[in-house]
Structure 1
């Protein structure tokens, strides 16, 4: 009788183990299918919705939110782990078909792991649903990066002036300086070279520049400066825009170089929104103008006059543009062209006489 009971208990235990195995196997299959389905949803979400938005934002020089970058990485990681896990699942199924199923404990462990991975996948899907703004505007490119100064000839007569202006920019006691000279003499070119050096050496935290011209457009000047400073100005009145710009300049706690290029007449700083002399803490305003008196009226504390090129510099520039060397045969021609151009670099570069000399020389 005891022998029969023992057999019965063994059978009962065996049937119970088989039932548990079947239960774990069913649960395992369910969890595996859920993992496959949700993982595919996540991969599709990244590939068709998030990645394209990130790519477009990067093309537009926008900054990607750190949470989005982290999310992309986590999706790639869980996708890789999920693929490896599912490949292992195929081996488990094949073994079961051959009568080599893992023990219930191992099967339960695999099933639980699949469930945990699915939970993480669902969490990433929920997080992606909250991605309203995945980027924010990046800082504007540095002004110096927009200037092409490579190949610009450095003349001795300019270098000394440029060095003096550089020293003035480093002088905290000077809040406004100016570069003066007739049109085409190279004032703006010098400013561009100085701006690139300022940015290389980080002399100022920010640099803003606006071209004023003979007929100043206050809103355009405000907009150009604001754009350099990443300040958004809506299409409001000049007065409102001036108030915002002024507050941005005096309350930011940064050293700012403000450049007003091609100034023809005295400007109303209050109307534009530029700080007064007493408010320029760490700020420097640099003007370029054809008229030194205008700069003096605006409060320039130091003026740097730029004269025309010397005869030798003009001859050398002519020869460089024409692609020829100035020997005694061409000295008279070079002198005539230099005189005709008034020693102005821009006039020499664009002189028709250079084209004729090129053709004659090449012919």
Structure 2
């Protein structure tokens, strides 16, 4: 008997609490609107902070993680929804020729506002990302290809020799020489494209007549997407 009484008591208490909660919607309408505005401002501040981090990351040539982009899109949608609910709340509908608030309208809108406020709070809790941005994948050798490239008879021989030399495991360095403007660089790029399936990565780096080893290492690291450890040439060479 005591168990039955206890169960009935809990059910009655639950009904009463729910009735009070439902009654709060129209009577505490302004409070719900105030909470909505506060949560919207908090989310806006978080979004502005993350937008700033995104701008900085892009300036550093980093690729923004997809979860960050999704968070920003979802935050935008929630903020727009909150603004629309604010505008609805300002309408302040009434009945009996304006002498009495429209309690049904208030109750219905307050429920929407409460739900949206919780959604914005939850969104704010999700802005601690494990990964924010990563180094962007550098362009491969096809980025440097020349459109409309055509092999003339005079270059076919050199093209074939370069391909064979690159396939030879005993060859570690190949020299390509000729008069200025005869197409050496263009030919080298096209050979690089033709052999990109032979290697994990094919990159193109310009080397001036005055050789600067450190600058060449930095250029290679940039093309490969590698972060060099150390500042001297030997430490950089190990990283590469």
Same fold (TM over 0.5): yes
Cα RMSD, aligned residues only: 3.7
Distance in 2 between the 1:68 and 1:164 partners?
Answer: 49
2:184 counterpart of 1:192: no
Q: How far off is 1:211 after superposition?
A: 5.2
Structure 2 counterpart SS, 1:63 = strand
**C-alpha separation in 2, matches of 1:28 and 1:152:** 71
Shift of 1:209: 4.2
Question: Which of residues 136, 145, 151 is equivalent to 1:138?
Answer: 136
* Mapped partners of 1:208, 1:160: distance in 2: 23
In structure 1, what is the Cα distance between the partners aligned to 2:231 and 2:60? 26
Structure 1 Cα separation of the partners of residues 87 and 238 of structure 2: 64
Structure 1 residues 213 and 59: alpha-carbon distance in aligned structure 2, compared to 1, 3 A threshold: closer
Q: TM-score, normalised by structure 1?
A: 0.48
Give 1:33 shift.
Answer: 1.6
Distance 1:39 1:211 in 2: 51
- Residue of structure 2 in register with 1:158 after alignment: 155
Gaps (5+ residues) in structure 2?
Answer: 1-19
Q: 1:173 to 1:69 in 2, by over 3 A?
A: same
Q: CA deviation at 1:74?
A: 1.0
Distance 2:72 2:22 in 1: 38
CA radius of gyration, larger in: 1
In structure 2, the residue matched to 1:124 is 123
Distance 1:225 1:95, change over 3 A: same
- Higher RCO, 1 or 2 (CA under 8 Å, sep at least 6)? 2
**Structure 1 position 238 matched with structure 2 position 238:** no
Change (3 A) 1:26 1:163: farther
> Are the equivalent residues in 2 in contact too, given 1:143–1:228 (CA < 8 A)?
no
Give the strand-richer structure, 1 or 2: 1
Cα separation, partners in 2 of 1:59 and 1:231, compared to 1, 3 Å: closer
Alpha-carbon distance in structure 2 between the residues aligned to 1:137 and 1:21: 51
Q: Say whether the 8 Å CA contact 1:207–1:228 is kept in structure 2.
A: no
Is 1:26 matched up with 2:22? no
